[in-house]
Amino acid sequence: MKVEKNAGGIEGLCVIEPSVHGDQRGYFMETYNQKDMEEAGLTMKFVQDNQSGSGKAVLRGLHFQKKYPQGKLVRVIRGTVFDVAVDIRKGSATYGKWYGIELSEENKKQFYIPEGFAHGFLVLSDQAEFCYKCTDFYHPDDEGGIAWNDPTINVAWPELDVPYRMSEKDKKWGRLGE
């Protein structure tokens, strides 16, 4: 397992590349090993696993929880997404900065996003299945969000040959700090 800490120069964000063992039969990899994570300096306790399936151009986010922030370890098991984290930690030197990474079934990279970040992703392939482990439970009454196109953040979402598709809720989020 290879861990890139402070991805994009933002403290806490980590890109994880699992060791993949392949032969003529296929491949094997550990998707999570607490001991290896702790040896890499990452201590987290996951309480919930989620999986979503989405079609091309689906944009989910940018989401966070206010009183019950969630750390997330995310990965793609089918397809390709552009995954984004935005630092919303008040007082952080990188407040309002974002980092994006392509996650796919081919590259098998994982992205750790600690508490204090907004998170979202855009599906680049025809279909994608997205899995993530969370450090706190989902609290529907605690949801927050930031507009995907907030000009103060200015995420460079990839351009696609079709319009982005979002939930009505995601279309209504305001700017960072509103």
Which of 63, 99, 112, 119 is an active site residue? 63
Set 99, 112, 119, 132: catalytic member: 132
Q: Which of 93, 97, 99, 72 minimizes the C-alpha distance to 176?
A: 97
> ∠ CA(177), CA(6), CA(67), 5° rounding?
35
Helix (H) or strand (E) holding 63, with range, is: strand 59-65
95 is catalytic: no
Among candidate residues 147, 44, 139, the one with its CA nearest the CA of residue 98? 147
d(CA 70, CA 99): 17
Asked if 63 is an active-site residue, the reply is yes
Q: Could you give the CA distance from residue 9 to residue 22 in angstroms, rounded to a whole number? A: 32
Report, as residue numbers or ranges, the catalytic residues.
63, 132
